[in-house]
Amino acid sequence: MESTLSPEARVERAKLAVNTRWKSQFNWETSSMESCHSRLAALRAEAEKGGLILQRRMDNDRVSTAICYNPDCHTGPDHTRATFEISRAVGSRSRISQDTGLMETAYVCSAACYLYLSANFKHQPAAAREDVTSPIDNVNNQPAERLV
Ligand SMILES: [Zn+2]
């Protein structure tokens, strides 16, 4: 997609974007020390509260059983994939999910299944990742470099 903005208009748009973004931030340089300490205490309290709530939510969502990652696993009942307590897993691997950006972990029931896990449960290569640059970012990035 080609931008219809002139170079000057792009610079003005980028300056507006930078100014708009930083105007909404707390001014740590010129605010009084008292208000800076007060603001910092509020941010720390909010971060601690958020961390505690997130940890509790993650604990509630934690699962205790897993299904073997290997689709060809036949060690479960009636030669199906094994289901087991996570504490009894023979191995596991973690990666960042390409869909959610969160860490995900896969578990296996045996050394043979771990070979499959090692070969197939990998991070997505950087070259294959989706290009997240939008046309708006292109417009804003170029003039922003000129401001610095
Ligand atoms: Zn297995």
pLDDT at residue number 148: 45
pLDDT at residue number 127: 57
Query: Cα(103)–Cα(67) distance, rounded to whole angstroms?
Result: 18
124 CA from centroid of ligand 1 (Å): 23
| Per-domain residue ranges of the chain | 31-62, 64-124
pTM of the model: 0.48
98 CA from centroid of ligand 1 (Å): 24
91 CA from centroid of ligand 1 (Å): 10
Residues 114 and 108: beta-carbon distance below 8 Å: yes
> What backbone torsions phi and psi does residue 97 show, to the nearest 5 degrees?
-65, 135
User: Could you tell me the mean pLDDT of each successive run of 10 residues in the chain, 148 residues long?
Assistant: 78 90 84 96 96 90 90 89 92 89 91 95 69 52 50
CB neighbour list of residue 139: distance below 8 Å, 6 or more residues apart = 3, 5, 10, 13, 14
